Amino acid sequence: MGAAGLAGTAAADDHVEVNVGFANNRGRRAALEVAVSVKREFSFNALTMTVPEEAVDGLAADRNVRYVEENGEMYAHDQTTPYGIEITDADVAIDDGNTGEGVSVAILDTGIDAQHETLEENLGEGWATDDAECTTDCQGGPFGGNNIDECLEEWDDDNDHGSHVAGTAAAADNGVGVLGVAPDATLHAVKVLECDGGGTFDDIAAGIEWSADQGHDVQNMSLGADSDSEVVSDAIEDAADKGVVLVASAGNDGECTDCVGFPARHPEVIAVSATDEDDELADFSSTGPEVELAAPGVDTLSTIPRDDYDEFSGTSMSAPHVSGAAATVIADGTTDREEVREQLKEAADDIGLDENEQGAGRLNVADAVDAESDDDDDDDDKEEEENVSVVTDEATDVGETSATLNGEVTELENADEADVGFEYDESGGDLSNTVDAGTVSGTEKFDATVDGLDSGTEYEFRAVAETAEDSDEGDVLAFTTDEEEDDDEESTAPVIDQFDLTDTSNPRWARVEVDWAVSDDDGNLDEVTSVLKDGIDSETSSVSGDAASGTHELRERDGHGEAEVTLTVTDTDGNETSDTKSITLG
């Protein structure tokens, strides 16, 4: 890295803190010659030191120097504010005796609560870098501190993040609090993040180095940065060479693609994305080709100082599920780091997400160790497997635009009921239309009527049945709807069977009562209307069928004398019949 990339890291007005990887002793001497001070020397040929800013370019150009990088910082992945033990079947593994006993899990984080009621009995030796030692006077930062009253150990948790991660990985099964994935594993606090959740690259590398040197089996890194670090990469490769299973959170930069953070994207590290209790991808989860597994990371309940609990969200919460699972696999007898990695991936459940979102799938701890639930064994599973069979029967009551589809459930085992119905389409189609036929509780026939079909058309259909765990389809059969009937006969006009007028006038009003009866051979009667004197008054009655009768009353004020009344009857085909009669009113 050139000086431009380091300009923002000045330790004094003209000094910068850098990590220098050297290829040989000449490179080491070259670095030490320009060093103002040396903060740390690693066993894998790297130094953390302060140098004059103007010395950076020359040092980076030295062929005996592998790299010069800014000593940047990593931060605990933020949490939005669990349940993951059940969804990953860790509880099934635990009930079967797979508890991670004898395996050590290092939590590289903000520390672990040194006295928590469900963590303390699982705590082993811890360690903290000088910069990250516990403090009761946190000055804030991106994720703040918890302002604990007393630091019981240098590696005590002054932030909450590390304790929460530790509880998910290995909270004890002691009847209080929460249950971790590997409740008998030994937890080691490796405090590399300060109370504000941040830690320098060299501190992260030092934590990886210390843990690997202690012989820890698993390292959990719920932390990350956007940029890679050579010194952290060196430490990761050193730990991998020593057989450590390394797990890291993918990052919380979602929604995004190809955005897995570092160190999760390092080839030696298992990158873990986050899902929710419905096995949907968490909207904050980073994704990319480096993701190897998914695990619960939304509203995850776990431990925080002191003897407290809270729900956090983030891929930081997903990673320790996998770290605990790795401990469970190792305790079960698989000790090679790459075999552990493959075993976890082979056992994962495909939850239907894209590969860059779920990797091999969502973690399944029980399957990774071939654990069986207490109330089941393989034979029981076979005996209790649900089974449904269905056949398609010929269609009946086929008309111009409708038909009744028929089927029969011929087998229903180990299930209380099955949902049944039909799929249909015009012949040659994809049977994309469906009709529900309800639910059956045994071997029985069922049917459903479909309407809105085209006349004179061939259709194909099949019966379908589904239980909670099984489904079946019958053979595809065909039927042809009837041709539409052509009615070549012209419909007949309606007939007026009765048309009688009666004078009912009084001195002020001329009134006439119209008694009528009508009929229609086609049975299509529609309306009957009486009209007085070309519209002075009228009355209309709606009628139907093949015959109807009734009375209309018409009137005109001071309209005494000769008057004409017209009676008209119509049918629904538009045919009309009229008659007119005269009457003297008054």
- Rg of the chain over all Cα atoms, to the nearest angstrom: 42
pLDDT at position 167 over 80: yes
- Overall average pLDDT of the 155-159 stretch: 95
Using alpha carbons, select from 493, 494, 539 the residue that is nearest to residue 515. 539
**Do residues 260 and 288 lie in contact, with contact meaning Cβ atoms separated by under 8 Å?**
yes
What is the topology classification, in CATH, of domain 384-480?
A: Immunoglobulin-like (2.60.40)
Beta bridge partners of 393: 406
| pLDDT confidence of residue 149 | 87
Listed in order, the ranges of the chain carrying CATH 3.40.50.200 are 76-368
| pLDDT confidence of residue 138 | 82
| pLDDT confidence of residue 2 | 30
- Overall average pLDDT of the 432-447 stretch: 94
| pLDDT confidence of residue 378 | 43
Return the structure tokens found at 580.
Answer: 């007119």
Residues 65 and 573: their CA atoms lie apart, in Å, by 100
Q: pLDDT band at residue 304, thresholds of 50, 70 and 90? A: very high
Residue 316: partners with Cβ closer than 8 Å, 6 or more residues away? 76, 77, 79, 161, 164, 165, 222, 223, 249, 252, 297
Q: Omega of the bond prior to 267 within 30 degrees of 0, cis?
A: no
| pLDDT confidence of residue 351 | 95
DSSP 429-485: S---EEEEEEEESSS-EEEEEE--PPTT-EEEEEEEEE-SS-EEE---EEEEPPPPP
Residues 309 and 408: their CA atoms lie apart, in Å, by 54
| pLDDT confidence of residue 586 | 77
Pick 332 or 77 by higher pLDDT.
Answer: 332
Which residue among 163, 229, 302, 316 is the active-site one? Answer: 316
CA 82 to chain centre: 16
Percent of the chain with pLDDT over 70: 92
Listed in order, the ranges of the chain carrying CATH 3.30.70.80 are 3-71
- Overall average pLDDT of the 215-226 stretch: 96
- Overall average pLDDT of the 326-351 stretch: 96
| pLDDT confidence of residue 375 | 47
Tell me the average pLDDT of the chain.
90
pLDDT at position 8 over 60: no
Q: H-helix or E-strand containing 10?
A: strand 10-12
- Per-residue pLDDT reduced to its tens digit, 78-87: 544 358 999 9
Q: pLDDT band at residue 4, thresholds of 50, 70 and 90? A: very low
- Overall average pLDDT of the 526-551 stretch: 92
| pLDDT confidence of residue 10 | 37
* pTM over the 0.75 mark: no
| pLDDT confidence of residue 377 | 44
pLDDT at position 456 over 90: yes
Active site residue 109: yes
- Per-residue pLDDT reduced to its tens digit, 505-521: 888 888 999 999 999 99
- Per-residue pLDDT reduced to its tens digit, 20-74: 999 999 999 999 999 999 999 999 999 999 999 999 999 999 999 999 999 998 8
Q: pLDDT band at residue 77, thresholds of 50, 70 and 90? A: low
**Do residues 65 and 30 lie in contact, with contact meaning Cβ atoms separated by under 8 Å?**
yes
Q: pLDDT band at residue 585, thresholds of 50, 70 and 90? A: confident
Q: Classify residue 282 by its DSSP letter.
A: P
Superfamily of domain 3-71 in the CATH hierarchy: Peptidase S8 propeptide/proteinase inhibitor I9 (3.30.70.80)
| pLDDT confidence of residue 384 | 65
Listed in order, the ranges of the chain carrying CATH 2.60.40.10 are 384-480, 495-585
DSSP strand pairing (104-109 vs 218-221): parallel
Which residue among 77, 116, 157, 161 is the active-site one? Answer: 161
Active site residue 316: yes
Distances (CA, A) of 382 to 89, 200, 364, 386: 20, 55, 21, 9
- Per-residue pLDDT reduced to its tens digit, 361-383: 999 999 999 876 554 444 444 34
- Overall average pLDDT of the 299-304 stretch: 93
| pLDDT confidence of residue 147 | 79
**Domain 495-585 = CATH 2.60.40.10:** yes
Active site residue 161: yes
pLDDT at position 140 over 80: no
Q: Say which CATH class 76-368 falls into.
A: alpha beta
Which residue among 89, 91, 109, 276 is the active-site one? Answer: 109
| pLDDT confidence of residue 249 | 97
Pick 269 or 555 by higher pLDDT.
Answer: 269
- Overall average pLDDT of the 324-337 stretch: 96
pLDDT at position 423 over 70: yes
